[in-house]
Amino acid sequence: MYNGKYFTYFGLDVEHPLHNPVYSIEFDSHDNLWFGTATHGVVMFDGKLLTQFTEKDGFINNIYIRSVLEDSHGNLWFSTQDAGVSKYDGQRFTNYTEKEGLSDNYVRCIFEDSHGNLWLGTENSGANIISDDSITYFTEKEGLCSNSVRSMLEDNNGNIWIGTSNGLNCLVPGSESIIYSLNEQDGLQDMDFNNNAVVLDSKNRLWWGTARCLTMMDLNDFNLPAEAPSHIQLNRIDINGQFLDYRRLEEKHRQENTIQQCG
pTM: 0.82
Q: Which tens digit of pLDDT belongs to each residue from 118-142?
A: 999 999 999 999 998 789 999 999 9
Contact 190, 210 (CB under 8 A): yes
Q: How far apart are CA 183 and CA 190, in angstroms?
A: 8
Q: Residue 120: which of 66, 172, 167, 199 has the closest Cα?
A: 66
Classify residue 207 as left (phi > 0), alpha (psi -120 to 50) or beta. Answer: beta
Q: How far apart are CA 64 and CA 196, in angstroms?
A: 14
Q: Which tens digit of pLDDT belongs to each residue from 26-59?
A: 999 999 999 998 888 899 999 888 888 988 899 9
Kindly list the distances between the CA atom of residue 61 and the CA atoms of 39, 42, 125, 179, 186, in Å, as whole numbers in the listed order.
9, 9, 20, 33, 40
Written as tens digits, the pLDDT of the chain (263 aa) is 778 888 877 766 555 544 678 899 999 999 999 999 888 889 999 988 888 898 889 998 878 999 999 999 999 999 999 999 999 999 999 999 999 999 999 999 999 999 999 999 999 999 999 998 789 999 999 999 999 999 999 999 999 999 999 999 999 988 788 999 998 888 899 999 999 999 999 999 999 999 999 999 999 999 887 666 655 555 555 666 655 554 455 544 444 455 666 65
Q: How far apart are CA 159 and CA 100, in angstroms?
A: 27
* Phi, psi of 239, deg, nearest 5: -120, 115
Instruction: Map out the domains of the chain as residue ranges.
Output: 22-196
Q: How far apart are CA 86 and CA 242, in angstroms?
A: 44
Q: Coil, helix or strand for 249?
A: helix
CATH topology of domain 22-196: Methylamine Dehydrogenase; Chain H (2.130.10)
